[in-house]
Amino acid sequence: MKPTVELINHPQELHDFQVRLMIGAGIVLFLFSILFTRFYYLQVTQRDHYHTLAEANRISIFPLVPNRGLIFDRNGEILAQNFSAYTLEIQPSKVPDLDTSLDELSTIIEITSKDRERFKKLMKESRRFKSLPIRTRLSDEELARFAANRYRFPGIEINARILRHYPHGESLSHVVGYIGRINDNDLEQLENNKTLDNYRGSQHIGRIGIEQSFEQELHGTTGFEEVETDAAGRSVRVVSHTPPIPGNNLTLSIDIGLQEVAIKAFGGRRGALVAIEPTSGDILAFVSLPGFDANLFIGGIDHENWDLLNNSIDRPLNNRALRGLYPPGSTFKPFMALAALELEERSAQESMYDPGYFSLPGSKRRYRDWKLDGHGMVDLHKSLVVSCDTYYYVLANDLGINKINHFVSQFGLGKKTGVDIFGEADGLLPSPEWKMRRHKQQWYAGDTISVGIGQGYNLTTPLQLAFATTILANKGRAFRPHFVKQIHNNKTGNLKKMTISPAYELNIKPEHMELVHQALIDVTRTGGTAERAAKGAAYTFAGKTGTSQVINIKQGERYIESQVQERHRDHALFIGYAPADKPSIALAVLVENGGHGGAAAAPIARQIMDYYLLGKLPDSSNIEIIQDTEQHEHDHEHLHAHH
């Protein structure tokens, strides 16, 4: 060991070095303590914050869409159901050139120009990153073809979806309604109702009818799955799984058999029919014609079909039974008759002479009876049976508009019935206040005269007429009309029956009710306006025909049906209930431009009543009833021969 370097160690220099080395070591310690402070801050002080962030990184929540509740008719026949199908979906934001991709796609899967149009419409209404269907219900062959060519179509995928189907789509479109794709408006509304969370993953929402009005019952509760995902978004494992709760099933009061019989009975004519069980308010049939196929709307309706429906002169999208406003015509008379008796303006025995017209004192204007030469001597009973107009002109003039309005409004005419679907129209039972407010005009005595026979400013919906008829049938007891009978809770298994109790009761003397009731029975008998329609019925039924004017007939002119354009012809109306002694069905029928109520509307009512009263077997079936049924079928043929 020999030193090769000469050492000169100045003690001062060595000391300086060691001091500086210690300063360096001190700085290192200081810096390490900064690190420690930082770790303490991150891992102790801020630990919860970073834990949350790490969890948010790690966990993705996927919604599990609940199955929508099913809808049944009163006998368990399915009206709205779900089925799963494969849909071909496109995420527009991931497809650079949509048209080219669609062209290519159509070489392996059939895509019609309608599909394209509908898709473009959907695209306009939806957000870009949403996956939108271009085709639904792919066949196995189409699935296989797409799977083989999948690599060619980034941003296009096949998904299994639950779709809605309405087996009686055309018959019940105005009752059941339909669902449509959720749009930005819906999202906003859901957000406002604080229910948006429950719609994560949902694609559809009820648009009209039961589907819309009972959305909360039908939708169900969205479940979710917490999935651990890696940085690339791939699922690694399922952390938790909360299953969705299917929506509640609804049982409607509708009898689909009756509904379809009613539609058939219209024979292609436009109109509306509402049949209600008077003792419960159950709506048995609810017809608005023409209808439309609700299934068209589910995946977003294409342009062509929409134009067809929307621009049709027959206005199939208009729910006539719920929103159609028509003068009640002579079906208004039973209520006027009750007013006369209750307000002691007329007694049953009082009669008057009908010369075929009525004129206000000091006026030359003649209010004509439908029978040119008049009905001769007419009392209250006859006035209903032959539907004498003059009697009611005089009566209306004697009562005055305020009394009429006040009394008749008790029957629900001219106001919403409170039925359990949205969109009901108000109707109108006129009053001087209303006229002043609406037209800034004084009420004239002549206005009252027209109101007396259900014309003039009078406007009611077929639903209101049917409701008013149930009050007649019930002798003054009013049950709110409704569609939903019971709700089956899919979560608890509970069956919630809608409670049936009278909404209100009218204070009308029984003998007055009886008078009108007897007159309405005679309407369907020999000499009555509905005589022909009721011929041979195996039960007694009560009713009132009506004809409501579409155009005003000038003074001195006569209305001759054959000379008037079809769409300017009178609407035919009929209200009725049966069996007369213990009514189980009450209804209102309206045939647009159908002409006379007795000829056009009453036969439809007859078919409904036959089907409902005779064509259906009670639970304790016996031989007599079966024979009745045969009889009923015979009646059917008989009636058809008549038309």
Partner 1 sequence: MIKFRALWYYLTRYMDGLLLAGILLLMLTGLIVLYSATGANLSRVSTQATNMLVALVIMWLVANIPLQQIMRIALPMYLFGICLLIGVALFGEIQNGARRWLDIGITRIQPSELMKLAVPLMMAWYFDKYEITLRLRDYLGATLLLLFPVLLILRQPDLGTALLIAASGFYVLFLAGLSWRVIAGLAIAGAASVPLFWSFMQDYQRQRVMTLFDPSQDALGAGYHTIQSNIAIGSGGMVGKGWLNGTQTQLDFLPERSTDFIFAVFSEEFGLIGNVLLLTLYLIVIARCVIITANASTQFTRLIAGSITLTFATYIFVNMGMVSGILPVVGVPLPLLSYGGTSMVSMLLGFGILMSIQTHPKLVKT
CB closer to partner 1, 5 vs 623:
5
Peptide bond into 579 cis (omega under 30): yes
- Residue 65 tokens, joined: 């869409």
For partner 1, give the closer residue by CB, 19 or 553.
19
Residue ranges in 51-70 that form contacts with partner 1 under rule CB under 8 A:
51, 53-55, 57-58
Q: Please identify, using beta-carbon distances, which residue of 35 and 560 lies nearer to partner 1.
A: 35
Closest approach of Cβ 227 to partner 1, in Å? 11
Residue 24 interacts with partner 1 (CB under 8 A): yes or no: yes
Distance CA 264, CA 603 (A): 12
Q: Name the minimum Å distance from CB 242 to partner 1.
A: 21
**Long-range contacts of 62-65, Cβ-Cβ distance < 8 Å, separation of 24 or more:** 62/201, 62/224, 62/225, 62/227, 63/200, 63/201, 63/202, 63/222, 63/223, 63/224, 64/201, 64/222, 64/223, 64/224, 64/225, 64/242, 64/243, 64/244, 65/162, 65/201, 65/202, 65/203, 65/222, 65/244
**Nearest alpha-carbon partner for 296 in 165, 197, 192:** 165
Minimum CB separation of residue 31 from partner 1 in Å reads: 5
Q: Contact with partner 1 (CB under 8 A): which of 8, 147, 313, 372?
A: 8
Q: In the complex with partner 1, which residue's Cβ is closer, 54 or 148?
A: 54
CB 166 within 8 A of CB 295: yes
Which residue stretch of 46-54, 129-137, 478-486, 516-524 sits at the interface with partner 1 (rule: CB under 8 A)?
Answer: 46-54
| Helices first, then strands: H and E counts in the chain | 23, 23
**What is the closest distance, in whole angstroms, from the C-beta atom of residue 301 to partner 1 in the complex?**
41
Rounded Cα distance, 529 and 602, in Å? 9
According to the binding rule CB under 8 A, does residue 13 interact with partner 1? yes
Least Å distance between CB 183 and partner 1?
31
Instruction: Find the binder of partner 1 among 50, 83, 444, 504 (CB under 8 A).
Output: 50
Catalytic residue among 288, 330, 450, 548: 330
Question: Which stretch in 23-31, 68-76, 143-151, 458-466 sits in contact with partner 1 by CB under 8 A?
Answer: 23-31
Nearer to partner 1, 38 or 137 (CB): 38
Q: For the beta carbon of residue 368, count every other beta carbon within 10 angstroms.
A: 18
Q: Please identify, among the stretches 8-16, 96-104, 136-144, 504-512, the one whose residues bind partner 1 according to the rule CB under 8 A.
A: 8-16
Q: Is 621 exposed, middle or buried (0-12, 13-18, 19+ CB in 10 A)?
A: exposed
Residue 460 is classified by DSSP as: B
Cβ 24 to partner 1 shortest distance, Å: 5
Of 121, 232, 273, 333, the one binding partner 1 (CB under 8 A) is 232
Asked about 330 being catalytic, the answer comes back as: yes
Binding region for partner 1 (CB under 8 A) out of 18-26, 174-182, 510-518, 531-539: 18-26
- 9 counts as binding partner 1 under rule CB under 8 A: yes
Query: Smaller CB distance to partner 1: residue 13 or 350?
Result: 13
User: Is 188 one of the binding residues for partner 1 (CB under 8 A)?
Assistant: no
Residue 230 CB, nearest approach to partner 1 (Å): 4
Adjacent-strand bridge partners of 607: none
Task: Tell me the number of residues near partner 1 by CB under 8 A.
Answer: 44
List, in order, residues 6 or more apart from 187 with CB less than 8 Å away.
Answer: 196, 199
Helices (H), 474-601: 510-523, 531-534
- For 72, the 3-state DSSP assignment is strand
Cβ atoms of 291 and 316 closer than 8 Å: yes
Instruction: Give the strand pairing for 71-72 and 249-252.
Output: parallel
32 binds partner 1 (CB under 8 A): yes
Torsion angle defined by CA atoms of residues 560, 565, 568 and 569, in that order, rounded to the nearest 10 degrees: 50
Out of 236, 495, 553, 617, the only residue in the binding site for partner 1 (CB under 8 A) is 236
Binding residues among 324-343 for partner 1 as defined by CB under 8 A:
none
Q: Closest separation between CB of residue 52 and partner 1, Å? A: 8
Query: Toward partner 1, which CB reaches closer, 20 or 496?
Result: 20
In whole angstroms, the minimum distance from the beta carbon of 421 to partner 1 comes to: 49
Structure tokens at 380: 């209250």
Q: How far is the CB of 155 from partner 1 (least distance, A)?
A: 21
CA dist., res. 92 & res. 128, Å (int): 6
Contact with partner 1 (CB under 8 A) among 20, 137, 150, 640: 20
28 binds partner 1 (CB under 8 A): yes
590 phi and psi angles, rounded to 5 deg: -135, 125
Cβ-based nearer residue to partner 1, 25 or 617: 25
Please, which residues have CB within 8 angstroms of residue 425's CB and are 6 or more apart in sequence?
322, 323, 324, 325, 416, 461
Instruction: Spell out, one character per residue from 202 to 231, where the chain touches partner 1: x when CB under 8 A holds, - when not.
Output: --------------------------xxxx
Query: CB of residue 240 vs partner 1: minimum separation in angstroms?
Result: 15
Task: Give the distance from CA 293 to its chain's centroid.
Answer: 14
Residue 355 CB contacts under 8 Å (≥ 6 apart), including other chains? 374, 390
Give the range of 43-51, 61-69, 563-571, 612-620 binding partner 1 by CB under 8 A.
Answer: 43-51
40/353 with CB nearer partner 1: 40
Closest CA to 341 of 369, 383, 375: 383
Euclidean distance between CA atoms 318 and 351, whole angstroms? 43
For residues 483 and 423, the answer to whether their CB atoms sit within 8 Å is no
Q: For partner 1, which is the closer residue by CB, 7 or 372?
A: 7
Amino acid making up residue 471: I
Q: Is 560 in the site for partner 1 (CB under 8 A)?
A: no
Report the residue from 21, 148, 238, 495 that binds partner 1 according to the rule CB under 8 A.
21
Our finding on whether 36 is near partner 1 (CB under 8 A) is yes
* 31 is an interface residue for partner 1 by CB under 8 A: yes
Residues annotated as catalytic are 330
- Report the interface residues with partner 1, using CB under 8 A: 1, 3-5, 7-9, 13, 16-18, 20-21, 24-25, 28-29, 31-32, 34-36, 38-40, 42-44, 46-47, 49-51, 53-55, 57-58, 228-232, 236
